[in-house]
Amino acid sequence: MSEFLSPEFQEYWTKSGFKAPTAIQLTAYEVLKEKKDMVGISPTGSGKTLAFTLPLLETLVPDKRMQLLILEPSQELAVQVGQVVKEWADIRQLSTLTLIGGANVQRQIDKLKTKPEIIIGTPGRILELADKKKLKLHQVQTVVLDEADQLLGQDQLNTVRELVKKMPSDRQMGFFSATSNTLMDDLSTWFNVDPIWKDVTAVDDSKGEITHAFIETPIRKRDAMLKQLSHLSKFRALVFFNDVASLTAALDRLRYEGISAGVLHSERNKTERKQVLQDFRNGKIQFLLTTDIASRGLDIEELDYIIQYDIPISKESYVHRSGRTGRMRRKGTVLTLVNERELRNFKQLISPLELSLTRLYLYGGELVEEKIAVEAPQSSVKNTSEKGAKEVKVMPKKEHKPRVVKDSPPVPVKKKKKNRTKKAKNKGARRKKTD
């Protein structure tokens, strides 16, 4: 793809260490440069951000007029994508601004006065600013829905539609995600578009080698399992929960055991979420406990393990969770903690994905694929070494002999006295006295 880029982008592409473009980057470049609407489906970690960023930046001009809007489903993803877009936009003297919920509104309004050409943000905050007439969308040329299947879910669909209504009818639209849903089949209904579909999942080769594994662990012992895993060499992991309550309880127990852990979920404010992500990226904490808020798009370098404390509620959730590791041809492991009943449900859940599932055990401070049987001690064990062989004798345990009791004469058994009434007692004595 670098041959098709503008000269300044070609130079930065090479300088950044990028080599061959991924399948989605090649495909999206051709379609978006022609100003066509498109749906781009490709695996997590395949470079979708650059796939839509580079061709669209080449169509913009630095004229202090908003031209490109990129929508993200979460604050973390908006900040991450905003950093990537700014890095490349600066080359062409294009200004960017990230707008997310949880941040100071007045400060964002002040920054809008600089008239950036590119806005990256979450739908709720952008609609809020548009309704206040602080953000004008009537000049937008292109809008991109990153993680489109989530943005088009029931929670955010109406907000996104309200935003698009404020844009010109001939605006270009891009929809990018690792998975699709039924709502994406109705794009023509929602947005009056007829996009070109490009699903490169089958031909993409950017995915690393991912081991999909499980450890059979009762629910009551899962915190203890995390503690054992924390002792493995250079082990750190993103740990997924299905709800905030169980996540918080696990955090308290882990910290009580002296294990460094942090949390990332929707109930934490923007500053806390930003800080804990930074601490995890810098290796200051070993476990980052999170909900599916972190399953989308987050890029954490050298993350070798994903742990599922709770099995996901859908196969799409599993795809996005597992996509946090093994990115851009790296190796990774997705480790799911299950009990016997959950294991059956888990296998059924991911069966459409046609994954090879490996059973792992913790043994000798390592994760192994087979349970190692411990042999019973022999009467003698030979220990061979380079210097010679030594024989270690194991003394047999003494047998317990039963106690022998000698014959003894029988003990006479006294007959029980019959129960008599008070009147019957000493009856014979009274009779003698009378006689």
| pLDDT tens figures, 5-48 | 888 899 999 888 888 899 999 999 999 999 999 999 998 888 99
Across 308-317, 355-364, 418-427, least confident range: 418-427
408 in a domain, yes or no? no
Residue 139 has pLDDT above 60, yes or no: yes
Residues 171-183, mean pLDDT to the nearest whole number:
90
238-294: per-residue pLDDT in tens? Answer: 999 999 999 999 999 999 999 999 998 877 888 888 899 899 999 899 999 999 888
How far is the C-alpha of 247 from the C-alpha of 297, rounded, in Å?
21
164 lies in the same domain as 284 = no
Ramachandran category for residue 328: left, alpha or beta (phi over 0 → left; psi -120 to 50 → alpha)? left
222 lies in the same domain as 195 = no
89 lies in the same domain as 192 = yes
- The residue whose two tokens read 């992991």 is 237
385 in a domain, yes or no? no
Residues 391-418, mean pLDDT to the nearest whole number:
47
- Apex CA 433: angle with CA 432 and CA 435, to 5°? 65
Cβ atoms of residues 250 and 223 within 8 Å: yes
Write down the pTM of the prediction: 0.75
189 lies in the same domain as 130 = yes
pLDDT band of residue 410 (cuts 50, 70, 90) is: low
Of 368, 394, 412, the position where a domain reaches its end is: 368
Strand locations in 241-349 (E): 261-264, 287-290, 305-308, 332-338
> Which pLDDT belongs to residue 382?
41
How far is the C-alpha of 193 from the C-alpha of 142, rounded, in Å?
13
pLDDT band of residue 405 (cuts 50, 70, 90) is: very low
Give which of 127, 136, 129, 135 is closest to 157, Cα–Cα. 127
285 in a domain, yes or no? yes
Reduce the DSSP state of residue 402 to 3 states and report it.
coil
189 lies in the same domain as 101 = yes
194 lies in the same domain as 45 = yes
Q: Return contacts of 275-279, CB within 8 angstroms, 24+ apart.
A: 277/76
> Which pLDDT belongs to residue 271?
84
Of 345, 368, 391, the position where a domain reaches its end is: 368
144 in a domain, yes or no? yes
Higher pLDDT, 172 or 178: 172
321 lies in the same domain as 345 = yes
173 lies in the same domain as 293 = no
Handedness of CA 402, 408, 413, 414 (dihedral sign): negative
Strand pairing partners for 401? none
368-395 in b/e burial notation, b at 16+ Cβ within 10 A?
Answer: eeeeeeeeeeeeeeeeeeeeeeeeeeee
Give me 399's structure tokens: 């047998």
Question: Structurally, how many domains does the chain consist of?
Answer: 2
Cβ atoms of residues 52 and 25 within 8 Å: no
Residue 118 has pLDDT above 80, yes or no: yes
302 lies in the same domain as 171 = no
Give which of 336, 359, 338 is closest to 219, Cα–Cα. 338
358-388: per-residue pLDDT in tens? Answer: 999 988 888 998 654 444 444 433 443 334 3
Across 2-11, 129-138, 171-180, 215-224, least confident range: 2-11
Higher pLDDT, 298 or 16: 16
How far is the C-alpha of 76 from the C-alpha of 257, rounded, in Å?
29
Residue 3 has pLDDT above 80, yes or no: no
> Which pLDDT belongs to residue 433?
46
Domain with 86 in it: what CATH number? 3.40.50.300
156 in a domain, yes or no? yes
196-238: per-residue pLDDT in tens? Answer: 999 999 898 877 789 999 999 999 999 999 999 999 988 999 9
26 lies in the same domain as 149 = yes
225 lies in the same domain as 176 = no
Average pLDDT, the chain: 85
Strand pairing partners for 275? none
163 in a domain, yes or no? yes
88 lies in the same domain as 160 = yes
pLDDT band of residue 423 (cuts 50, 70, 90) is: low
Give which of 112, 119, 167 is closest to 141, Cα–Cα. 167
How far is the C-alpha of 430 from the C-alpha of 115, rounded, in Å?
128
422 in a domain, yes or no? no
349 in a domain, yes or no? yes
> Which pLDDT belongs to residue 390?
39
Full domain range(s) for residue 114? 7-199
> Which pLDDT belongs to residue 254?
94
Of 324, 353, 368, the position where a domain reaches its end is: 368
- DSSP state letters, 342-373: HHHHHHHHHGGGTPPEEE-EEETTEEESSPPP
